[in-house]
Structure 1
Amino acid sequence: MSVASADVHGVVQTLTQSSNTLFLLLGAIMVFLMHAGFAFLEVGTVRHKNQVNALVKILADFGVSAIAYFFIGYWLAYDAHFFADAQTLSQGNGYELVKFFFLLTFAAAIPAIVSGGIAERARFYPILIATFFTVGFVYPLFEGIIWNGNFGVQAWFEHRFGYGFHDFAGSVVVHGVGGWIALVAVVFLGMRKGRVRAGKHTNFAPSNIPFLALGAWILCVGWFGFNVMSAQTLDGISGLVAMNSLMAMVGGIIASMIAGKNDPGFIHNGPLAGLVAVCAGSDLMHPIGALVTGAIAGVLFVHVFTYLQNKTRIDDVLGVWPLHGLCGAWGGIAAGVFGQTALGGLGGVSVVVQVLGTLAGITIAVCGAIIVYGAIDFFSGLRLSEEDEFNGADLAIHKISSTSED
């Protein structure tokens, strides 16, 4: 190779590396912004006396998540750490550092999901301790199995069934795991005071529909970074992912509007249900398959959340288990169904493996959450006192309310 050719090759390589770094950085920023969506969705749903706590909890959870994932979780999932000098870490335009940032925003979605389920009655610091352990150990255990091939599980799937477990952007790895962890936390905390009166369930109305809608819109926009930029490099980007995300979102909107009888809470959560479900197979489904996947997710969310609120003692405030846990599980299976070439997909996926992988994610999430939340509940307690719950988490924990007393 001539000197001129070598120079050109070096320039092209540098440009490619820097472009990929910028691409993934933009994705990380978009997903980071989604945490504002989580916050405002919760703020708009909870009662006024718990709005400050919702905002603080999401941001504090992100800070704790970053520490847990930086020192433990990322290392556990990818056998990579940051105990090196800055010159070494910044090689390749710092692409590996930006990759950590991108994957951190995924990991931090776990406590953000949990937060919506346990709202209005959870103690502050015990929940942050739970965040540290779920993000540092539980989530990366399954993340590493699926996205890094740890423990030979993916290799066994490929050997036994011909294909590995396919989860392009985290229907199961992120949303399913987060939703099932949340279910365990919700069960440990029990129902909010006043939810059952004279033997009948009473539902607390959302405190601020505009804030709820703002949260949903932020999440919807950021989700295109969540899904499309999961390619992690420019040469891997696919318009199919964007199109499928769009169609699943639309399917969720229409289905939840009909099934939810025009309820604004359902209509604004419907697109999120569709987007959760399409994450896994967004890179291989046909757009019509994505539309159906999103529509089924929208109906699933509306009916399961309604049943939980009116017929059970599972007090999931934002419905994060049906939205993320069940729709995430459906998304893992849907990738195996609508990814088949017979249904217009790109193929390379097995329904059996998708079911087994989904069940594995649920098992790890539930078992890990029982250990973490069970231990914290035993040693320190998870729930606010009855008086603090009555006064609201804003005053009990943060000594301030969301509105002026003037």
Structure 2
Amino acid sequence: MSQSASQVYGAVQALTQSSDTLFLLLGAIMVFLMHSGFAFLELGTVRKKNQVNALVKILADFGVSAVAYFFIGYQIAYGNNFFVGAETLAQGNGYELVKFFFLLTFAAAIPAIVSGGIAERARFYPILIATFFTVGFVYPLFEGMIWNNNYGVQTWLETHFGYGFHDFAGSVVVHGVGGWIALVAVKYLGMRKGRVRAGKHTNFAPSNIPFLALGAWILCVGWFGFNVMSAQAINGISGLVAINSLMAMVGGILVSLFAGKNDPGFIHNGPLAGLVAICAGSDIMHPIGALITGGIAGAIFVYLFTYLQNKTKIDDVLGVWPLHGVCGAWGGIAAGIFGQTSLGGLGGVSLVVQVGGTVLGIVIAVLGSIVVYGVIEKCSGLRLSEEDEFNGADLSIHKISAINED
């Protein structure tokens, strides 16, 4: 290769690296913005005396998640650490650093999901401790198995079934795991005071529908960064991922609109259910399959959340287990159905493997969170005192209310 050709090749390589770094950085920023969506969705759903806590909790969880993932979780998942010089870290335009940022925003979604389920009665610092261990150890264990072939899990599946577990953007790895961890936390905390009166379930009305809607809109917009930019390189951009995300979101909207009987809480969570479910197979489904997947997810959320709130002692404030845990599991399985070439998909998936991988994620999430929350419950307790819960987390924990009436 001549010197001029070598220079051109080097310039092209540098431009490609810079483009990939910028592409992934924009994705990281979009997913980071989604955390404000989680915050406003929770703020609009909880009662007014717990609104400050909803906002503070999401931001504090992100800070703890960043430390846990930087020092522990990222190394467990990918075998990489940051204990080298800055010169080494900055190589290749710092692409690996931006990749960490992008994947951190996924990891930090775990406590953001959990937060909505345990709202209004959880102690502050014990939950931050739980965040450290779930993001530092539980989540990256399964993340590494699926996205980095740790412990040879994907190789074993490919050897025995022909295909590995397919989860392009985290229906199971992120949302399923987060939702099932939340279920365990909700069970440990128990029901909020006043939820059952005279033997009948009482549902607390959302405090602020506009904020709830704002949170849902932010999440919907950010989700296109969550899904499309999971390619992690500019040459991997797929219009199929984008349109499938769109169609699944629309399916969730339409089904929740009718199944939820015009309830704004259901209508604004319906698109999120569809987006959760499409993450896994967004790169291999036909758009019609995505529409069906999102519609089924919308129905799952409406009916399961209604059943939990009215018939069980599972007090999941935002319905994060149905929305993320169950719809995430459905997404993992749906990739194995609508990803088949016979249903218009691109193929390369096995339904058996998709079911097995989904179950594996659930098992790891449940067992890991039982250990984490069980130990913290024994050592310090997870729940506010009855008096603090009555006064609200805002005054009890943060010594300030959301709105100054003076």
Name the Cα RMSD after superposition. 0.2
Q: Give deviations 1:293-345, integer Å, cap 9, x for gaps.
A: 00000000000000000000000000000000000000000000000000000
Matched, 1:302 2:298: no
Could you say which residue in structure 2 is the equivalent of 1:54?
Answer: 54
The aligned counterpart of 1:192 is: 192
Q: Deviations over 1:57-81 (max 9, x none)?
A: 0000000000000000000000000
User: What is the aligned partner in structure 1 of residue 220 from structure 2?
Assistant: 220
Distance in 1 between the 2:183 and 2:128 partners?
17
- Matched residue type, 2:140: P
Residue in 2 that maps onto 1:44 = 44
The answer for the alignment partner of 1:165 in structure 2 is 165
**In the TM superposition, what are the counterparts of 1:47-196 in structure 2 within 5 Å?**
47-196=47-196
Aligned-partner Cα distance in 2 for 1:24–1:45: 32
> How far apart in 1 are the matches of 2:216 and 2:117?
16
Matched letter for residue 259 of structure 2: A
In structure 2, the residue corresponding to 1:4 is in which secondary structure?
helix
Alignment partner, residue 323 of structure 1: 323
Q: Secondary structure of 1:275's match? A: helix
Aligned to 1:236: 236
Aligned residue number for residue 6 of structure 1? 6
- Matched with 2:281 is 281
Given residue 344 of structure 1, which amino acid in structure 2 is its aligned partner? G
Alignment gaps of 5+ in structure 1:
none
Partner residue in 1 for 2:361: 361
Distance 1:170 1:115 in 2: 19
* Residue in 1 that maps onto 2:340: 340
Supply the AA of the counterpart residue of 1:47.
R
Which residue is equivalent to 1:314?
Answer: 314
Letter in 2 for 1:81: N
1:73-118, CA deviations, whole angstroms, 9 ceiling, x for partnerless residues?
0000000000000000000000000000000000000000000000
- Cα distance in 1, alignment partners of residues 403 and 92 from structure 2: 48
The aligned amino acid for 1:379 is C
Measured in 1, the distance between the counterparts of 2:235 and 2:50 equals: 45
- Show the counterpart of 2:379: 379
Which whole-Å deviations, capped at 9, do the CAs of 1:20-72 have from their partners, x for residues lacking one? 00000000000000000000000000000000000000000000000000000
**C-alpha distance in 1, partners of 2:251/2:402?**
35
Partner secondary structure for residue 156 of structure 1: helix
Residue of structure 1 in register with 2:204 after alignment: 204
| 1:7 aligned partner, one-letter code | Q
**Distance in 1 (alpha carbons) for counterparts of 2:10 and 2:341:** 40
Moved over 2 A (4+): none
Question: 2:81 and 2:284 mapped to 1: Cα distance?
Answer: 32
For 1:142 and 1:150, the matched residues in 2 are separated by 9
Deviation track 1:223-272 (CA, whole Å, cap 9, x = no partner) reads 00000000000011100000000000000000000100010000000000
CA shift, 1:278, in A, is: 0.1
Q: Distance in 1 between matches of 2:90 and 2:152?
A: 31
Name the aligned partner's letter for residue 246 of structure 2.
L
1:145-165 Cα distance to aligned partner (Å, 9 max, x none): 000000011001000000000
Whole-Å Cα distance in 2 between the matches of residues 277 and 74 of structure 1?
25
- Structure 2 length-normalised TM: 1.00
Partner AA of 1:142 in structure 2: F
- Provide the identity percentage: 83
- Cα deviation per residue 1:164-207 (whole Å; 9 max; x = unaligned)? 00000000000000000000000000000000000000000000
Letter in 2 for 1:362: I
2: CA distance, partners of 1:255 / 1:145: 34
- 1:32 maps to which residue? 32
Q: CA deviation at 1:405?
A: 2.7
CA distance in 1, matches of 2:4, 2:89: 29
User: Aligned partners of 1:153 and 1:78: how far apart in 2?
Assistant: 14
Distance 2:9 2:365 in 1: 46
Question: Which runs of 5 or more residues in structure 2 are unaligned?
Answer: none
Aligned to 2:248: 248
Q: Name the aligned partner's letter for residue 288 of structure 2.
A: I
Deviation digits for residues 127-152 of structure 1, max 9, x if unmatched? Answer: 00000000000000000000000001
SS of residue paired to 1:113: helix
The residue type equivalent to 1:252 in the other structure is G
Letter in structure 2 aligned against 1:306? T
Structure 2 counterpart of 1:199, one-letter code: G
TM-score, scaled relative to structure 1: 1.00
Inter-partner Cα distance in structure 1 for 2:375 and 2:86: 38
**2-side partners of 1:52 and 1:231: how far apart?**
36
